[in-house]
Chain A
Amino acid sequence: MRRIPAVGTWAKGGLLALLDALVVFWCVLFAWDGRWAFLALTAGGALLLNALLLSRRAYPFRYLAPGLLFLGLMVVYPMGYTVYISFTNYATGNLLPKREAIRLLTEREIVPDPPRRFPFTGYGTPGSLYALYLRGEGEDYVLFPDGRLSAPQNHRLVFSDGVPESVDGYPQLLGRDLFPLVAQLQGRRIPYREGWLRLATLREFGFYLPQYRYDPAADTLVDQATGKVYTPREGRFVAPDGEALDPGWVETVGLANYVRFFRDPLYHGAFVRVFLWNVAWAVLSVAFSFALGLALALLLNDRGLRLRKVYRSLLIVPYALPAFISVLIWRAFFNQELGLFNQTLFSWFGVKVPWLQNVFWARFSLILTNVWLTYPYMMLVSLGALQSIPGELYEAAKVDGAGSWRRFTHVTFPLLMISVSPLLIGSFAFTFNNFTLIWLLTRGEPVVEIGSRAGATDILLSYAYKLAFEGARGNEWSMASALAVLIFLIVILVSGVSFARTRALEEVSRGL
């Protein structure tokens, strides 16, 4: 049975038709302007929208499309783009396409020896420039505003005192009428002999020679003054003596960035050091905070404890506070001179600990802070798991004569780990990349190696952040991206292994 379309369906169809008409209009405009990327984007988007709204098969995707759009734009696309950048040399100094870099380099100019200047006078009516007359010591020219140079004999000139009074019937312009008109010629290069003319001051043109000439056949740049030949190497033009020209350009470099993390002494030492600390940091943080959380869960899991609800609510305060605020507070506590810890230690024992200045103590401080931040989570998780362990198991163990410690190690802990271990692995993955904590507490400091970006407490992600956004050598986008890809591989590896492990644990639990 066919139903008669309702008013709503007609309205929807009408709106879609209207939108499509608008899209066609925009596309024509974009085509007119030659903005092809916009054209493709708009047309593609419109086609997709039509398919979504008109096809029955695509019906479920009407629900999925908005979410997928954001996910694609802000997660999937950046993922792919990061991988792409990691295979290039994209960084400060190598930001342009090659032909742009060549254009900028071949526009560099030198003043010929001896220098040549062309004082000029202007002709036309106020507000409209007809031509300029350039006097070049016996080599005069008429220059039109569109950049055309012409010999004086082609024009009707009326001279007085060596300067024309009029050109082709147009009278000479006064300075105040001329300057605004001439200003429009600023930056314009008028080809002349083997170089160009360009406005040097508001009264004269100068003659300039290009410093470099590009030879497309050999793909080299030749210095016109010295004859030095620059050949392209690693995204820049480099002379045999090692002198490199800026700007360079973007090119793909294959695995070079990754290799540098394993070979280049500038990155290799830092990478290994940061990686080892990063693993240790995540393992120790999770282990200590789980130990504390579990201990507190066992403490609270006693039904005889009358205030356990209150205790629980108070103990999860660190978890309820925004982490960035807590970390800033802890950083203040650790301050060497003014902080609470050293003030207390000094007044009691007369010692001051270099909490954030010394490598060991900085790492200690980080782990302590993270334990404070995350033990409530571990406690909650453990409490939930403890309550799901059947009581008969304890009875059975008691009957078998197991003491309370043996009951914990042989019954509670193994059973607890089955439900908790996936969450511990999730927590490990999160801590592994916990940029906020590292950055707000230590900024990766203290410095351990002069010249290297990575400090003693930097994790891989904060090291990548420094390479990308905080560099003394500018933005090392490509190295940061390569590092991000390495981190991603580590995350995948850990997740993959843990997935396999947890499945194994589930099977164990089914066997019980």
Chain B
Amino acid sequence: MASRRSLGWWARRLLRNFLAWVAIAFALFPALFVVGTSFNPTNNLSATRMIPDRPTLVHYRVLVRDYPFLTWLGNTVKVAGITSVVTVFLCALGAYAFSRFRFRGRRTSLLTLLLVQMFPQTLGMVAIFLLLNTLGKHLPWLGVNTHPGLILVYLGGAMGFNTWFMKGYFDTIPRSLEESALVDGATPFQAFVRVVLPLARPILAVVVVIQFITIYSEYLLASILLKGERMYTLSVGLRLFLGDNYRDRWGMFAAGAVLGALLILALFYALQSQIVSGLTGGAVKE
């Protein structure tokens, strides 16, 4: 009887592992296909194979040399980097005020913020486009088809949720630590910079990375605001680059996809547990 039970146990265990590997195959095959085909000498999607006979780096070389791929990647990193760093600083400031000060209008401001962040910024696309169009007539560096303009738009979109998110974290940091700093004669701002911010470093990192990943993948607003080929971010550029050219650009696209995904993949796995807890706590990544 003991041996029969253990047989069933073994069978169930085998089945579980088998199912897990089936799921993993489903999860990984697109990525593996792209990595494999990026080293395959052909540029034709229908002729390429996942495991190349003669692996080559030619697609990487041509993509970087003959197309503005690195410009797109640079634009994206610049826009996403600046946005996420400024976001985290401004949201920390706001979250600190909401968490520590009691002032008239606090409750109303918090509720308004909650309501406003339910409005997906993309729904305002027409107004944002027209606003930047007008802005650009007076301040050309801030108009349509400029990176500062796009950053401005992204910054606005990032404020609501992240302020709330960080306020929740600041509420969990005991006040006693700042209070001793305040007794020693520090201003509230000094207490914020020297005591609270260092304690909040983990959440700051999470917000920066989630924000970076979100902006990195943003498509809609970038596609309506960026018009020149050299201004594109990666999402806009790669889509237009591939288009329907599956016969003569697949290998290069695959190389671009690998390069474009590497940074995000590395960031994600480096901060995996923090990001996952942040995202499953209500943040939705795209």
On whether the two chains bind one another, the answer is yes
**Which residues of the partner chain B approach A76 to less than 8 Å between Cβ atoms?**
116
Considering the complex, which residues of chain A in the window 407-466 have a beta carbon less than 8 Å from any beta carbon of chain B?
422-423, 426-427, 430, 433-436, 439-440, 461, 464-465
Q: Which residue of the partner chain B has the closest CB to A481?
A: B126
Q: Which residue of the partner chain A has the closest CB to B153?
A: A74
Considering the complex, which residues of chain B in the window 250-286 have a beta carbon less than 8 Å from any beta carbon of chain A?
250, 253, 257, 260-261, 264-265, 268-269, 272, 276, 279-280, 282, 284-286
User: Quick check: A487 and B123 within 8 Å, CB to CB?
Assistant: yes
User: Quick check: B121 and A78 within 8 Å, CB to CB?
Assistant: yes
* Nearest CB on B from A4, distance (A): 13
The reply on A397 being an interface residue by CB < 8 A is no
Report the Cα distance A393→B231, complex, angstroms. Answer: 58
From known contacts A75-B159, A311-B24, infer whether A70 and B123 are also in contact, taking CB-CB under 8 Å: no
User: Quick check: A74 and B152 within 8 Å, CB to CB?
Assistant: yes
User: Quick check: A484 and B125 within 8 Å, CB to CB?
Assistant: yes
From known contacts A73-B156, A332-B246, infer whether A461 and B122 are also in contact, taking CB-CB under 8 Å: yes
User: Quick check: B46 and A343 within 8 Å, CB to CB?
Assistant: yes
User: Quick check: B120 and A433 within 8 Å, CB to CB?
Assistant: yes
Considering the complex, which residues of chain A in the window 330-373 have a beta carbon less than 8 Å from any beta carbon of chain B?
330, 332-333, 335, 337-340, 343, 372
User: Quick check: A67 and B93 within 8 Å, CB to CB?
Assistant: yes
The reply on A480 being an interface residue by CB < 8 A is yes
From known contacts A74-B152, A338-B246, infer whether A318 and B27 are also in contact, taking CB-CB under 8 Å: yes
Q: Which residue of the partner chain A has the closest CB to B185?
A: A3
User: Quick check: A328 and B44 within 8 Å, CB to CB?
Assistant: no
User: Quick check: B20 and A305 within 8 Å, CB to CB?
Assistant: yes
Q: Which residue of the partner chain A has the closest CB to B263?
A: A322
User: Quick check: B242 and A328 within 8 Å, CB to CB?
Assistant: yes
From known contacts A67-B163, A324-B217, A435-B220, infer whether A332 and B250 are also in contact, taking CB-CB under 8 Å: yes
From known contacts A435-B220, A477-B126, infer whether A67 and B28 are also in contact, taking CB-CB under 8 Å: no
Considering the complex, which residues of chain B in the window 147-168 have a beta carbon less than 8 Å from any beta carbon of chain A?
152-153, 155-157, 159-160, 163
Which of B121, B234, B276 is packed against the most chain A CB atoms within 10 Å?
B276
* Interface stretch (choices A56-64, A101-109, A136-144, A203-211): A56-64
The reply on B228 being an interface residue by CB < 8 A is no
The reply on B128 being an interface residue by CB < 8 A is yes
User: Quick check: A63 and B286 within 8 Å, CB to CB?
Assistant: no
User: Quick check: B155 and A427 within 8 Å, CB to CB?
Assistant: no
**Which residues of the partner chain A approach B194 to less than 8 Å between Cβ atoms?**
none
The reply on B224 being an interface residue by CB < 8 A is yes
Q: Which residue of the partner chain A has the closest CB to B250?
A: A332
Considering the complex, which residues of chain B in the window 176-223 have a beta carbon less than 8 Å from any beta carbon of chain A?
213, 216-220
Binary flags per residue of A309-338, CB closer than 8 Å to B gives 1, else 0: 001011111111111111011101101011
The reply on B124 being an interface residue by CB < 8 A is yes
**Which residues of the partner chain A approach B20 to less than 8 Å between Cβ atoms?**
296, 299-300, 305, 307, 311, 315
* Nearest CB on A from B232, distance (A): 12
Interface magnitude class on chain A: 35 or more
User: Quick check: B219 and A436 within 8 Å, CB to CB?
Assistant: yes
Considering the complex, which residues of chain B in the window 112-132 have a beta carbon less than 8 Å from any beta carbon of chain A?
113, 116-131
The reply on A495 being an interface residue by CB < 8 A is yes
Report the Cα distance A338→B43, complex, angstroms. Answer: 12
User: Quick check: A435 and B130 within 8 Å, CB to CB?
Assistant: no
Q: Which residue of the partner chain B has the closest CB to A63?
A: B97
User: Quick check: A314 and B124 within 8 Å, CB to CB?
Assistant: no
User: Quick check: A82 and B124 within 8 Å, CB to CB?
Assistant: yes
Report the Cα distance A91→B131, complex, angstroms. Answer: 15
The reply on A85 being an interface residue by CB < 8 A is yes
Report the Cα distance A426→B216, complex, angstroms. Answer: 21
User: Quick check: B157 and A75 within 8 Å, CB to CB?
Assistant: yes
Report the Cα distance A79→B218, complex, angstroms. Answer: 20
**Which residues of the partner chain B approach A495 to less than 8 Å between Cβ atoms?**
118
* Nearest CB on B from A244, distance (A): 24
**Which residues of the partner chain B approach A332 to less than 8 Å between Cβ atoms?**
45, 242, 246, 250, 253
Q: Which residue of the partner chain A has the closest CB to B256?
A: A325
* Interface stretch (choices A157-165, A377-385, A504-512): A377-385
Report the Cα distance A135→B276, complex, angstroms. Answer: 85
From known contacts A59-B101, A70-B156, A304-B13, infer whether A338 and B127 are also in contact, taking CB-CB under 8 Å: no
Going nearest first, the 5 A-B pairs with the smallest beta carbon separation are A74-B156, A78-B124, A63-B97, A78-B127, A81-B127
Which A residues lie at the B interface, using CB under 8 A?
38, 57, 59-61, 63-64, 66-68, 70-79, 81-82, 85, 296, 299-300, 302, 304-305, 307, 311, 313-326, 328-330, 332-333, 335, 337-340, 343, 372, 376-377, 380-381, 384, 422-423, 426-427, 430, 433-436, 439-440, 461, 464-465, 468-469, 477, 480-481, 484-485, 487-488, 491-492, 495
24 contacts between A and B (CB under 8 A): A57-B103, A61-B103, A66-B90, A74-B128, A74-B156, A75-B121, A81-B124, A296-B20, A311-B24, A317-B265, A319-B268, A319-B285, A328-B238, A337-B46, A372-B26, A380-B279, A380-B280, A384-B280, A426-B284, A435-B122, A436-B218, A439-B219, A465-B224, A469-B129
Which B residues lie at the A interface, using CB under 8 A?
13, 16-17, 19-20, 23-24, 26-28, 30-31, 33-34, 44-46, 90-91, 93-94, 96-98, 101, 103-104, 106, 109, 113, 116-131, 138, 152-153, 155-157, 159-160, 163, 213, 216-220, 224, 234-235, 238-239, 242, 246-247, 250, 253, 257, 260-261, 264-265, 268-269, 272, 276, 279-280, 282, 284-286
Known: A82-B124, A85-B126, A484-B123. 13 other contacts (CB 8 A): A78-B127, A81-B131, A307-B20, A322-B261, A324-B239, A328-B238, A329-B30, A338-B46, A380-B280, A384-B280, A426-B284, A427-B284, A469-B224
